[in-house]
Amino acid sequence: MQEIDFNTRIRRKAQAVNFALKRILDFQETNQELKEVLGYALNTPGKRVRAVLVLWCHELLKGQVDHNAEMASAAIELVHTYSLIHDDLPAMDDDDMRRGVPTCHRVFDEGAAILAGDALLTLAFEVLAREIDPPAMALKLIGLLAHEAGPTGMIGGQMADLRAEKTECDKKTLEYIHTNKTAKMFRCAAAMGAICGGASKKQYESLSEYGMKIGLCFQITDDILDISSSSEELGKTAGKDVVAVKCTYPAVVGMKKAQEIQKNLTEEAIAALKQFGKKADTLRQLAYSLLERTK
């Protein structure tokens, strides 16, 4: 049997997320215009990495994806998609392109983009509350996602990122921004998969640590690609960090050191999976593929 390459495996897994998102959207009884904006935002070709991470962490423990894991993966993708819509707004990064297509506020308008983001964020929690069984598991997932995406996570990081523009950024601020803005959503994804899979405390901690490390590496790669790649390859405007004088790893520690930190984080992520043995090979491959990604 011919072995399929890892990117194909990610894409195939992402299809399961796309189907779940489609089903969720189809059931929304809302006005046609909002449905159109939400459909546009959710159908743009995102990598679905956080959602796939939920599924693979769950599979590691349970062997097979179930309804809870599928809904948890859709929920984190809803939150992630909202964050990108808002991040692209004129008051934030003011971007025209995302995922290779015009941003939501460019296709519709700013008001529609803000509301679509709000709708996706709230819908994520409705999905968890309605679809996850038992209720105690739903409560855990809701609390975790709110915590990691909120003021002590993604929003806190985004605020610091916004304020760090055009300032002399130090390493401590840089680590705070990257950890909160990006890495905590990866930690959250791994932990959500662990919760759905009934992880022990030790398994939960290992998967959370793995998620945090690959998340931090993911953002450093993003910083590097912003400099070294093209808008066509990235599907979003390249070179923006330098123009906006953003607080990034290449800017603060230099390119060589940034690449060294990336590699170390990947090794640390892989070390965190030790207790799972060979069963965690997919997660190991994921860590390497994110280190080497080009978009």
- 251 in Cβ contact with 165 (< 8 Å): no
Cα-Cα-Cα-Cα torsion 56, 120, 159, 91, nearest 10 degrees, comes to 130
State in angstroms the smallest separation of the CB of 116 from ligand GRG: 12
Q: Assess 155 for contact with ligand GRG (CB under 6 A).
A: yes
CA 2, distance to chain mean position in Å, is: 30
Q: Residue 70 or 222: which CB sits closer to ligand GRG?
A: 222
Residue of 4, 47, 68, 19 lying closest to 282 (CA atoms) = 4
Q: How far apart are CA 237 and CA 267, in angstroms?
A: 30
Q: Residue 192 or 199: which CB sits closer to ligand GRG?
A: 192
Using the rule CB under 6 A, give the single segment among 67-75, 80-88, 201-209, 260-268 that binds ligand GRG: 80-88
Q: How far apart are CA 164 and CA 177, in angstroms?
A: 9
State in angstroms the smallest separation of the CB of 216 from ligand GRG: 11
Q: Assess 241 for contact with ligand GRG (CB under 6 A).
A: no
List C-alpha distances in Å: 133 to 63, 72, 140: 18, 11, 11
- Among positions 222, 238, 280, 283, the unique one binding ligand GRG when judged by CB under 6 A: 222
Q: Assess 246 for contact with ligand GRG (CB under 6 A).
A: no
Radius of gyration of the chain (CA): 18
Q: Residue 137 or 162: which CB sits closer to ligand GRG?
A: 162
Q: Assess 213 for contact with ligand GRG (CB under 6 A).
A: no
Q: How far apart are CA 36 and CA 31, in angstroms?
A: 9
Using the rule CB under 6 A, give the single segment among 43-51, 100-108, 123-131, 261-269 that binds ligand GRG: 43-51
- Among positions 92, 137, 227, 252, the unique one binding ligand GRG when judged by CB under 6 A: 92
Q: Assess 41 for contact with ligand GRG (CB under 6 A).
A: no
